[in-house]
Structure 1
Amino acid sequence: MSHAHYYVKEEVRNARNRRRFRQLAREVCGEVFDIPEDNRVLFAYQKHHGKETLIGEISFQIADEKLTSPGITFDSEYFHQVTFMFVKYDFQGMGIGQRLFSKLMKIIGEKSVRPIRLQSAEKAVGFFEKMQFVCQGEPIESLCGVNLFRFMYNMERPSGYLTCDSTNDL
């Protein structure tokens, strides 16, 4: 009996990977999102019977170390930012998001000890709370887009949490 193998790796932001990112985003949430400029991307894969399948993704921006003050906006470049994270429905609850996040933490931990910020859909708040994120203020209601993003939550992971020990199998 053959078992599936899961792994996460960083990919370059090129036309092919941007297309793959948009396809997975649309499959998961019904909307097309692209990897923002100046962002890095991690893809999660399942390898089963020699076939590699994209099952998750996360895009992020490393904090700008030249900035000495966070300023007043929540999405200031002073902070590390998670811009998008998607995991195929059939793979949610299997630790794929934790694997993506663990790899992200490894990369960020090598760069800086600044906090990480993101805006989370209501459905994903519990996941990010498990990753030590804390809601900042009240949810923001959005009047456009799909219902999944009707309420967005500003969340921050304090800089004291540099590792994520939820999985060691990257």
Structure 2
Amino acid sequence: MLSLVKAKGNKSNHLFRQVARDTTGETYNPPEESEVVFAYEYILETGKKVLIGAASYTIALPTQTDPNEENYNHFLSFLFIKGHWQGLGYGKWLLNFIESDMMKTVRRPIHVESAIGSVEFFIKQGYTYSGRYTDCVCSGSPLFKTLCYMTKEPIITFCNNLNI
């Protein structure tokens, strides 16, 4: 059974770096002031929770009205699922939780700079590739050598248009 836990503080930074290292071979820190969430799977046979993933993201400021400003949009900075757990739906569950957390604050586009190997995952989740990418010359991990800019527009329902 999957459980998701939001966390803050130095202990969460240590756990985040651990998941990043286990997933990519490199250590990454969540950006300052970002939300951090950890994914745990309960192993029935052992009765233990296992840390299987982590993500960090920044929620858009509802008071920001200029779409050209950085904090107008939501931003997903990292989403890691450890290798053994990839392809089993955990990344999708974690992403759905994050998107819901973002949208309950304000309905704005979500931006992500995806590693090229994760582009297909984000496309399956409704993100579109903007056509822009960055080649990172100093990237420690080959996974992050090329980053692709992707966006997901908020879903506007009929009730949202009526402010119900």
Same-fold call, TM > 0.5? yes
Is residue 109 from structure 1 mapped to residue 103 from structure 2 by the alignment?
Answer: yes
**Comparing 77-86 and 130-139, the one that deviates more:** 130-139
Q: 2:50 matched to which residue of 1? A: 53
**Structure 2 stretches of 5 or more lacking a match?**
158-164
Task: Give, in angstroms, the shift of residue 20 of structure 1.
Answer: 0.6
Q: Letter of the aligned partner of 2:73 in structure 1?
A: F
Q: Letter of the aligned partner of 2:2 in structure 1?
A: Y
- Percent identical pairs in the alignment equals 31
Q: How many residues align?
A: 154
Tell me the distance in 2 between the aligned counterparts of 1:115 and 1:139: 18
Task: Flag the structure with more relative contact order, 1 or 2, with Cα contacts below 8 A and sequence separation at least 6.
Answer: 1
Q: 1:88 matched to which residue of 2? A: 82
Tell me the distance in 1 between the aligned counterparts of 2:156 and 2:128: 12
Q: 2:154 matched to which residue of 1? A: 159
1:78 is matched with which residue: 69, 72, 86? 72
Q: 1:127 matched to which residue of 2? A: 121
Q: Letter of the aligned partner of 1:24 in structure 2?
A: V
TM-score (norm 1): 0.85
Report SS of the residue matched to 1:33.
Answer: coil
**Structure 1 stretches of 5 or more lacking a match?**
163-170
Q: 1:17 matched to which residue of 2? A: 12
Q: CA RMSD in A?
A: 1.5
TM-score (norm 2): 0.88
Q: Deviations over 1:64-107 (max 9, x none)?
A: 122111227xxx21100001110000000001101101111221
Task: Give, in angstroms, the shift of residue 155 of structure 1.
Answer: 0.5
Task: Give, in angstroms, the shift of residue 151 of structure 1.
Answer: 0.9
Task: Give, in angstroms, the shift of residue 161 of structure 1.
Answer: 6.6
Tell me the distance in 1 between the aligned counterparts of 2:5 and 2:13: 15
Report SS of the residue matched to 1:136.
Answer: strand
- Segments ≥4 residues shifted beyond 3 Å: none
Is residue 144 from structure 1 mapped to residue 138 from structure 2 by the alignment?
Answer: yes
Higher helix share: 2
